[in-house]
Structure 1
Amino acid sequence: MAHDVQLEAITYETKEEVPQELKEKKLSWQKLRRYDSLDLESRSIPGHHHGHHSKALTRSLIFRLAFQSIGVVYGDVGTSPLYVFASTFPNGIGNNDDILGVLSLIFYTITLITVIKYVLIVLKANDNGEGGTFALYSLLCRYAKVGFIPNQQAEDRDVSNYELELPSGRAWMASWLKSALEKSMFAKQILLFATMLGTSMLIGDGVLTPCISVLSAVGGIQVATTKVTQDMVVWISVVILILLFLIQRFGTDKVGYSFAPIICVWFALIGGIGLYNFIQYDPAVAKALNPKYIIDYFKRNKKGAWVSLGGVVLAITGTEALFADLGHFTVPSVQISMCFVTYPALILAYAGQASFLRMNNDLVKETFYKSIPKPIYWPTFVIAVLASIIASQAIISGTFSIIQQSLSLGCFPRVKVIHTSTKYEGQVYVPEANYLLMVACVAVTLGFRTTTNIGNAYGIAVVFVMTLTSCFLVLIMIMIWKTHIILVLVYILIIGSVELLYLSSVLYKFDQGGYLPVAFATVLMIVMYTWNSVFRRKYHYELEHKISPEKLKEVVGGISLHRIPGLAMFYSELVQGIPPIFKHYVANVPALHSVLVFVSIKSLPISKVPVSERFLFRHVEPKDLNVFRCVVRYGYTDVQNEQEPFEKLLIENLKVFIRDGFGLPQSVLSNGENGEEIMDVRQVEEDMQPAEIEREIEAVDKAWHAGIVHLIGETEVVAGKGSSIGKKILIDYAYTFLRRNLRESDDVLTIPHKRMLKVGMTYEL
């Protein structure tokens, strides 16, 4: 359902403000605790508290979540010691002091980017506990009218976790930037483009991480025995990758949360081995804490040092997972696990490898495995392979979540999203994506064959996403946090300049494999743009040709139209009004069920919508027709699955809507002092008799028990006559190809086929 998102902010047909006089009528007002917010634009609802929900977490729960996060979040960054030094020195070590320069770069990069940027700053830019590029974009969309999904509407702002504005004395700059972004269509397009680019790069990361992690881990066999060739290593890696993707259908909770002990053992091993090598070979590498060695490294190697940054940056691969996987944990738990487990283990691991290399310059290509003491070589090898599989698992499950969020943007074709866990939220599986990722991973592994070549491609995806995160974060710091401009400038000058330096370095290796993530992103961007563009055109067409209330009364109340027992749910993507396809249906099938509900799915720019606030209803006049409009709201991490009793929830909420007297007839509206229409509560109490309400509820129950039919609007779109060649290619070929080769809407909505009827119509756009 997440794909059915409306991409334009559409104004309401009627906008009636609730006057203060009515709010003061406390006793009667409480009876009207839910508004018909498809019609009324209210300022506030009693009992709703906006802002972030704070959870009282016990210390034991935080530490338990911190332990679990080790198995889910850090597999990627934790396996980086397998290949960082080999990727940084692909042509060997020219000067022994270069090792100190690279170690200093690794130390300050991890400290600056991973700890200071992500752990201390970016984690706080979460969207009600959710992280990632889409979370940052959703925050901006809710605060300012910069998105193409409908926000800033009355009923959306009344969702309990929607509001986010913070009071501050530095509001003038935030207001200026907000106004500038809202007035510029170019700026809105750039923000959407950046979000799509970040999403595409992260999906590309989902292809490269399994390849480089598994290939580097399995390569340890060659260090132990010369009988194993590189071809054998490649094919063993391919088999592991195929098995890894085949088990995804069983759910990431069964594969992911049990991994924490293994990753803990992995960090204990690399930290312990690093400490042993540090003491055994050259404790003097502690001098690398002095950034002077970075300057000396660049003086000696000049362009070579700049190019080698593409290898150094691999030390922070997977850092984005700190933020992207935040939804499964909490900010304190991730901060604890990073600062007290992952960070010390990584620093010790790299320091130990540097000490080993100071005495063994010629072993740089097999740094990790050659530095392992012989008694624990094979146990470490086994744990390394398991850790690489876990690292791959984390990014694969993260890719599924990213695709799910992209559906909420209306930027991704319809795919099946399966919620694989009733115990853990956010655990999803996308079959189409899983098999495409498997094919891509196998192709990359067979094509590139070595971790050095894959590392050239890997770096671009990593740094691109980090740079985009910084750009979004700066906007959030100014517009939402209202951070002092000096602190914003410090962030840009320090963090921004470091990331741009790394970005320039990885782009230098574009022709050595760096083109791969760019190619992935380009293909995905074309797919996203095609789907998004035609989706918006189709929505505008339906909006322009929607059925007016008068026409609906005429159609439904027609003498020739027969009413049959039962309840029909008519699904459409149009939130504002009745879609034109309904008239097409009635013209060909002159019969309607006794109760008719027009259901529209709407995705909000927030992570989750509470079930109690998910359904909005409106009674279509006249009331005796038993025709309703319903908008079902989802957040971008909400998934409708087969275990969710959607039909039951909708009907129960419909009966609550009727019982509370929200099918307000026009006679209830009376003129206020200034001539505006207001609700006369006394008239409501008189007009809405219990017997009338019970009769209407009884009609709904009777229709429900008679049977539910799901009517699905399936619209074909074609370019209109006289359209340009580009438009014809976009609509008639590209979009049509995607639509016909992916899921049908009923598969995505998990509608029972035995009670489903499709209604087809062609739109000329």
Structure 2
Amino acid sequence: MAELGEERPSPEEQQVQEQYEHGTSLSKQRLFDLEADEGSANAVRQKADWGTIWKLAFQCIGVVYGDLGTSPLYVLPGIFPDGIKNEEDILGVLSLIIYSIIVITLIKYVFIVLAANDNGDGGTFALYSLICRHAKVNLIPNQQAEDREVSTYKLDLPKRSTRMASALKYSLESSLIIKYSLLFTTMIGVSMVLGDGILTPCISVLSAVGGIREAAPSLSQDAIMWISVVILILLFQVQRFGTDKVGYTFAPILVLWFAFIAFIGLFNFIKYDPGVIKAVNPWYIVKYFQRNKKKAWISIGGVILCLTGSEALFADLGHFNIRSIQLSSCAVLVPSVLLAYIGQCSYLRKNTEDVTDAFYKSIPKPMYWPQFVVAILAAIIASQSLISASFSIIQQSAALGCFPRIQVVHTSAEHEGQVYVPEINTLLMLACVGVTLGFKNTLTIGNAYGIAVTFVFVITSMFLVLVMVMIWKTNIILIIIYVLTIGLIEVLFLSSTLYKFVDGGYIPLLFASTVVSIMFIWNYGYRKKYMYELENKIAMKTLTDIVSDERIHRVEGLGLFYTHLVHGIPPIFTHYVSHVQALHKVLVFISIKSLPISKVPAEERFLFGRVKPGELIFRCIVRYGYKDSRKDQKTFEELLANQLKDFIGEDSGAEDRQRELASVDNALRDGFVYLMGECEVMAANGSTWVKKLTVDYLYNWLIRFVRQPDEVFLIPRKQLLKVGMTYDV
């Protein structure tokens, strides 16, 4: 039985492995280009000039900062739900807000976490993929030596090696519990980001629409709720058009928003109480806790709302680059948001009774309506960014076998990372409408929002520490400083938000448990099916017997047999031959393989090899990153045919070459036939009742409700032949 995380290689594969380990380059004829018109990842990753950086910095204002930028709409009411009892508390809270933004948003995310990217892509899966590439912790055993020659698979590691890094790597690789824990933690992070995708539209739109009561005090909370629901439904209906032009379309609106909140904040600071500048002294935080004790700790759950959207700085990195986000964060985002909070606190020092609606109450009357309109637009934009992030992270999860198969629509010809997932869009819309109708106000939604945000913060920090120790090999003193400062602050935030569990905080945890259960069930069934095929793959002698059997009729055409295995022939192949008793004269075993990286360069996407010498039986391994798009099947067929002929030309002798090329041309004239196994997975006799429940019912129930492999791979139905088989796992 193969070890977990490794396939048992054939002698030929062992030779390839040894070749890799001794530093010898693998045969370039095994690599071929599927999409020759696309540039390589190396070209994409070239250092951008300052003109490009400024352009991206402008675009990311419209995509990344909506959530962080609109948080002044609801933060202070969340901190003071029962009103302000002591004016000095305003200084303590303002100091907390200032240093939370500086420490978490600026220092942690802008200057540390962005560096832990996966070849320019960020998010929970980016961190997980870095760890999987450096240590064998991936539970899907499909590693190949050739994969490590993919340029985007390699890591630029420090030359030095440390005992701590080696010890941690060994611990991760040798413990099955740790491997499951890493996968489970990644799933929680994904589910919490999806929770943000639900709660952000609710709280942002409700807060923005609530400002209309300044002009129409008679308007009820129910009316505001229904107006918000209509906006939310419209918001999700336009998702199908994609986010290709979001940057250029929405950036001017958010630039105007940031200019407005900065100007109003500065105006209020000068007009009401410039003395709030004393809040830059962190001693006011200490005094705030001394004065309020437990209430101060509980209020941190409201302070965390000023950091919502910080994770988007990392998750949306793939659309931009590090320097553009750092530039726009330091020049636009942080100064504007801090001025907004300083101005609100300055206003509240003279008008403590207005804390429940601090944002709109503090707007000068001549600017009220312009600011209200811009606030509505900014709230919609804030919602858009988290919804788009949800689509991306679901695409990543599905590509790596951690989420049921779904339809992924690429909405941009220029930016492959911009996707739309119809099923997820519908579920998010229903969830948003349900949360809005159920809670009606931003206070309860804020309690739920805080838990989702802090869980993502803590998970990111956990993975970041692993990256620091194992990959960056950071000095242990710096790691300890990070854990004892940023780490402890985030744990404190999490403890405060969990205190509000019964007051709406249970919503993201309930949602997370549902999503994680679906992901874990799917991943478990997916792995069991893969391991069955791996352990029961066909021996070369069996394949030789099948090919040489005169009772097997050889038909014209080119057959593409799809399999999950990257080495060996799956057991369903013998099942197919025994029932159909025919083989195509040219047969290619196709393995669609997802690597734990964001993108595979076009020229490195495919591996091509011969399964049996002297026979027209080949293996084609198609490697995708989790953000790569898949082209239409006609293009796939043309490119596959061309590369097959190129491979034969390089792999065969002069006489054999001409004969085999002629056979391939004849097969191509007769057309492609797609052969696919439809495998039902059942728990083997003697399995526990938990395994039977998970595999026989839950996993198979999920399979019936998701898209089938032929739909995902864009296979023409008229050219498809399926053969069924049951795997007892």
Same fold, judged at TM 0.5 (above) = yes
**For residues 739 and 61 of structure 1, do their structure 2 counterparts lie closer, same or farther at Cα, with a shift above 3 Å needed?**
same
Shift of 1:135: 0.5
Q: Deviations over 1:173-207 (max 9, x none)?
A: 21121112212222212111111111111111111
**Aligned partners of 2:210 and 2:224 also within 8 Å:** yes
**Aligned partners of 2:416 and 2:629 also within 8 Å:** no
Percent of aligned pairs sharing the same letter: 58
TM-score between both structures, scaled by the size of structure 1: 0.91
Distance 1:219 1:368 in 2: 11
Distance 1:335 1:269 in 2: 22
**Aligned partners of 2:258 and 2:332 also within 8 Å:** yes
SS of the residue corresponding to residue 112 of structure 2 reads helix
Distance 2:584 2:160 in 1: 58
Shift of 1:256: 5.0
Are 1:640 and 2:624 matched, yes or no? no
For residue 265 of structure 1, the aligned residue among 253, 256, 261 is: 256
Shift of 1:534: 1.2
Distance 1:460 1:266 in 2: 27
- In the alignment of these two chains, the number of paired residues is 718
State the partner residue of 1:192.
183
**Aligned partners of 2:62 and 2:246 also within 8 Å:** no
Are 1:9 and 2:33 matched, yes or no? no
**For residues 745 and 33 of structure 1, do their structure 2 counterparts lie closer, same or farther at Cα, with a shift above 3 Å needed?**
closer
Are 1:385 and 2:376 matched, yes or no? yes
State the partner residue of 1:509.
500
State the partner residue of 2:700.
736
**Aligned partners of 1:145 and 1:151 also within 8 Å:** no
Shift of 1:644: 8.3
State the partner residue of 2:416.
425
Distance 2:31 2:553 in 1: 29
State the partner residue of 2:35.
none
Q: Deviations over 1:106-145 (max 9, x none)?
A: 0000000000001111101111001011111111111111
**Aligned partners of 1:210 and 1:389 also within 8 Å:** yes
SS of the residue corresponding to residue 164 of structure 2 reads helix
Q: Which one-letter code corresponds to 2:627 in the other structure?
A: T
Q: Which one-letter code corresponds to 1:710 in the other structure?
A: Y
SS of the residue corresponding to residue 758 of structure 1 reads strand
Q: Deviations over 1:641-673 (max 9, x none)?
A: 438822222222222222221xxxxxxxxxxxx
Distance 1:273 1:199 in 2: 37
SS of the residue corresponding to residue 139 of structure 2 reads coil
TM-score between both structures, scaled by the size of structure 2: 0.95
State the partner residue of 1:43.
none
Q: Which runs of structure 2 are paired with 1:267-666 in the superposition (5 Å)?
A: 267-624=258-615, 626-642=616-632, 645-661=635-651
SS of the residue corresponding to residue 9 of structure 2 reads coil
Are 1:178 and 2:142 matched, yes or no? no
Consecutive unaligned residues in structure 1, runs of 5 or more: 1-5, 38-48, 662-687
For residue 661 of structure 2, the aligned residue among 692, 697, 701 is: 697
**Aligned partners of 2:119 and 2:152 also within 8 Å:** yes
State the partner residue of 1:89.
80
SS of the residue corresponding to residue 632 of structure 1 reads strand
**Aligned partners of 2:139 and 2:527 also within 8 Å:** no
State the partner residue of 1:34.
29
Q: Which one-letter code corresponds to 1:749 in the other structure?
A: F
Shift of 1:406: 0.8
**Aligned partners of 2:41 and 2:600 also within 8 Å:** no
**For residues 553 and 453 of structure 1, do their structure 2 counterparts lie closer, same or farther at Cα, with a shift above 3 Å needed?**
same
**Aligned partners of 2:142 and 2:565 also within 8 Å:** no
Shift of 1:623: 2.2
**For residues 269 and 13 of structure 1, do their structure 2 counterparts lie closer, same or farther at Cα, with a shift above 3 Å needed?**
same
Consecutive unaligned residues in structure 2, runs of 5 or more: 33-39
SS of the residue corresponding to residue 715 of structure 1 reads strand
Shift of 1:165: 4.8
Distance 2:485 2:262 in 1: 29
Shift of 1:150: 4.2
Distance 2:661 2:204 in 1: 59
SS of the residue corresponding to residue 497 of structure 2 reads helix
Shift of 1:354: 0.4
Distance 1:465 1:199 in 2: 8
Shift of 1:153: 3.2
What is the CA RMSD across the aligned residues, in angstroms?
2.3
Q: Which moved more, 1:188-197 or 1:454-463?
A: 188-197
Distance 1:519 1:115 in 2: 31
SS of the residue corresponding to residue 363 of structure 2 reads coil
**For residues 650 and 270 of structure 1, do their structure 2 counterparts lie closer, same or farther at Cα, with a shift above 3 Å needed?**
same
**For residues 19 and 323 of structure 1, do their structure 2 counterparts lie closer, same or farther at Cα, with a shift above 3 Å needed?**
closer
